[in-house]
Amino acid sequence: MIPGGFSAGDEPEGSAKFITSVFRNQKIADAVMELLNKRDGLMLGICNGFQALVKLGLVPYGEIRPQAEDAPTLTFNTIGRHQSKMAYTRVTSNLSPWLRKAELGATYVIPISHGEGRFVAPQEWIDRLFKNGQVATQYVDLSGKPTMDEEYNMNGSYMAIEGITSPDGRVFGKMGHSERRSKGSALNIYGNDDQQIFESGVQYFK
């Protein structure tokens, strides 16, 4: 798992630029691809970790590769500043083993905290991602419908996309902090906050 973090004050591309520089070391890149291709491994990236997966090509391609000009990416929130609040996100596809224990179509309340979480891609890419089931999660309103309303889609992501996967689903990147939960947190927030991502990952290896 590649976590988030505010390295260097979360300057443009934040921790992602440092993470990708490490993962592009040939020995590390080879080890990652061996994990995925020969050892049936899983990878998860949250927030800056999602940014790193995108910059590396692990999502949406499923391999470490140079970033093409038309490739999906993450950029500055439309509001032009950091956003930190609870987001309603819907499980759009359970292709990923990380979401096997989540309910398909269900809405989960997940904290977001980022300045560059806006998912952008050409229409051809967006169509391909939906067709392949690679759009894992989307920002939704209170009725559970994907929305461009900034109240719910805080960063202005195209087609309200919050998380995507590799073609086989084993690499999953998302902006919302699914790890920020415990029995004593967000007690005043209504809604299910447990996508059981980590339980699903453990179950995959059983």
Q: Which domains does the chain have, with CATH numbers?
A: 7-180+188-204 (3.40.50.880)
pLDDT of residue 170: 97
Over residues 101-152, the pLDDT tens digits come to 999 999 999 999 999 999 999 999 999 999 999 999 999 999 999 999 999 9
- Phi, psi dihedral angles at 92 (to 5 degrees): -90, -30
Least confident range from 32-36, 78-82, 154-158, 196-200: namely: 78-82
pLDDT of residue 184: 78
pLDDT of residue 142: 94
pLDDT of 8 higher than 80: no
pLDDT of residue 86: 95
pLDDT of residue 9: 58
Percent of the chain, pLDDT > 70? Answer: 95
pLDDT of 76 higher than 90: yes
Name the residues annotated as catalytic.
47, 177, 179
pLDDT of residue 13: 62
pLDDT of residue 122: 98
Mean pLDDT across 72-98: 95
Query: What is the 3 state secondary structure string of the chain?
Result: CECCCCHHHHCCCHHHHHHHHHHCCHHHHHHHHHHHHCCCCCEEEECHHHHHHHHHCCCCCCCCCCCCCCCCEEECCCCCCCEEEEEEEEECCCCCHHHCCCCCCCEEEEEEEECCCEEECCHHHHHHHHHCCCEEEEEECCCCCECCCCCCCCCCCHHHEEEEECCCCCEEEECCCCCCCCCCCCCCCCCCCCCCHHHHHHHHCC
Q: Distance between CA 85 and CA 33 in Å, rounded? A: 35
Q: Using alpha carbons, select from 189, 50, 49, 72 the residue that is nearest to residue 123.
A: 72
pLDDT of 12 higher than 60: no
pLDDT of residue 188: 83
pLDDT of 187 higher than 90: no
pLDDT of residue 182: 79
pLDDT of 6 higher than 80: no
pLDDT of residue 123: 98
pLDDT of residue 74: 94
Position 10 confidence tier, pLDDT thresholds 50, 70, 90: low
Average pLDDT, the chain: 92
